[in-house]
Structure 1
Amino acid sequence: MFTGIVEELGEVVSLTPAGSSGEAVLLTVRGPLVSSDAGHGDSISVNGVCLTVVDRGEGAFTADVMKESLDRSSLGSLVPGSPVNLERAARVDSRLGGHIVQGHVDGTARLLSRNPGDNWDVLRFELPGALSRYVVEKGSITVDGTSLTVSAVSDPGAAEEFFEVSLIPETLRATTLGALAAGAAVNLEVDVVAKYVERITAVAAARG
């Protein structure tokens, strides 16, 4: 479990094919802070994807990334040198500064535009139709592992579905979103509470 508060801006060191088919990879990421106390089996969020540490070196850690994760997230497009948002799993006695984040990517989207302001940037992302019912204005969403508040969302059934977030200077400085260019792909995770509510009401309706 994570909070969506990025602890460190890391850098991809290498991606090495793994397994007999070569479809999985061993991903090594430089992140001195998050790797400082990482142990075998610990969870670290990399651009919003929960990965399990299998090895730790000097200021870096290595994790297995299976084909499913590569196919369903933007991790497959990473190359050595790519910046990534990093967060260690939350402690049960820590403050929940963001919102409940599982590190389970619900889909990917592309940045449509960014509108710089005096004290913040407004970023507009496409909104996949399958996720649009979970996104509401002033609600929470995770973009590449960063907990954000939705500042605007398109009307249901709009020709182009989108959502917007307004990023303060600290978020722009401390995460990959500060340098994100239009057209770049990001990982999205919607609020898990909304999915549970939908499931509960659907089951209740089916049972009459």
Structure 2
Amino acid sequence: MFTGIVTAIGTLRDARHDGDLHAVIACPFDPATIAIGASIACSGVCLTVVDKGGAAGDAWFAVDISGETMARTAPGHWEEGAQLNLEPALKLGDELGGHIVTGHVDGVGSVVSITPVGDSKQFVIAASKELAPYLAPKGSITLDGVSLTVNTVDDQADGTCHFMLNIIPHTAEVTTIGQLSVGDAVNLEIDVLARYLQRMQSLRS
């Protein structure tokens, strides 16, 4: 379980296909605080640590990424040199600063537009028709592992939707969102509460 509050940006240092994709991710963590078998969200994807090393501030950890995970997430995230938003799993008693995030990506969206507004930037993201019913103004969404608030939702004629996010300078600086460009693919996880509400509504219907 996670909160969508990114604690560091890591770099995929090595990616080797050996059945699954074996990836080594460099990060500024202390390896003494990383447990083998622990969960770390990597740009919104919950992955299991299978190895670790390095020193405090210059550490690395290794994960195995299945073909199923690669097929359901943004492809550019798993290439050597890619930067990833990192969040260790929530510990009992930690502050829930974002919203409840599972680390299970529901779909891949794309950046439609980026518009400067004051010091912030408004991002418009396209979501599939499968995810559209779960998106609502002032609701929560996880984009590449970052907990964000949906500002507006614009339903499209084909059943898809475009939703707008306001990204403040701090968020752009401490996550990979500030590096996004129009057309880039992003991992999306809908709010778990919206998932259950939609299921309850469908059963009533």
TM-score normalized with structure 2 length: 0.92
- Measured in 2, the distance between the counterparts of 1:75 and 1:36 equals 31
Per-residue deviation at 1:95? 0.8
Match of 1:100 in 2: 100
Match of 1:192 in 2: 192
Match of 1:51 in 2: 47
Between 1:36-45 and 1:149-158, the stretch displaced more is 149-158
Tell whether the 8 Å contact from 2:132 to 2:160 is kept in structure 1 after alignment. no
Matches within 5 A, 1:26-37: 26-33=22-29, 35-37=31-33
Per-residue deviation at 1:115? 0.4
Evaluate the alpha carbon distance shift between residue 156 and residue 80 of structure 1 in structure 2; reply closer, same or farther with a 3 A threshold: closer
Between 1:158-167 and 1:178-187, the stretch displaced more is 158-167
Tell whether the 8 Å contact from 1:44 to 1:88 is kept in structure 2 after alignment. yes
Amino acid in the other structure paired with 1:142 = T
Per-residue deviation at 1:139? 0.5
Per-residue deviation at 1:159? 7.2
Match of 2:34 in 1: 38
- Measured in 2, the distance between the counterparts of 1:139 and 1:36 equals 37
Matches within 5 A, 1:146-165: 146-155=146-155, 157=157, 161-165=161-165
Per-residue deviation at 1:119? 1.8
Identity over aligned pairs, percent: 39
Offset from partner CA, 1:147-205 (integer Å, 9 cap, x none): 000011103646762001001111000010001011110000000111112223444x3
Tell whether the 8 Å contact from 1:83 to 1:176 is kept in structure 2 after alignment. yes
Question: C-alpha root-mean-square deviation of aligned residues, in Å?
Answer: 1.7
Please state if 1:66 is matched with 2:66. yes
Amino acid in the other structure paired with 1:181 = S
TM-score normalized with structure 1 length: 0.91
- Measured in 1, the distance between the counterparts of 2:151 and 2:32 equals 35
Tell whether the 8 Å contact from 1:7 to 1:34 is kept in structure 2 after alignment. no
- Measured in 2, the distance between the counterparts of 1:142 and 1:61 equals 23
How many residues end up aligned between the 2 structures? 201
- Measured in 2, the distance between the counterparts of 1:35 and 1:142 equals 26
- Measured in 1, the distance between the counterparts of 2:25 and 2:75 equals 12
Gaps of 5+ in 1: none
- Measured in 1, the distance between the counterparts of 2:184 and 2:174 equals 18
Please state if 1:91 is matched with 2:91. yes
Evaluate the alpha carbon distance shift between residue 40 and residue 50 of structure 1 in structure 2; reply closer, same or farther with a 3 A threshold: same
Tell whether the 8 Å contact from 1:34 to 1:88 is kept in structure 2 after alignment. no
Evaluate the alpha carbon distance shift between residue 202 and residue 152 of structure 1 in structure 2; reply closer, same or farther with a 3 A threshold: closer
Between 1:137-146 and 1:148-157, the stretch displaced more is 148-157
Please state if 1:10 is matched with 2:10. yes
Higher strand share: 2
Amino acid in the other structure paired with 1:113 = S
Tell whether the 8 Å contact from 1:35 to 1:56 is kept in structure 2 after alignment. yes
Per-residue deviation at 1:91? 1.0
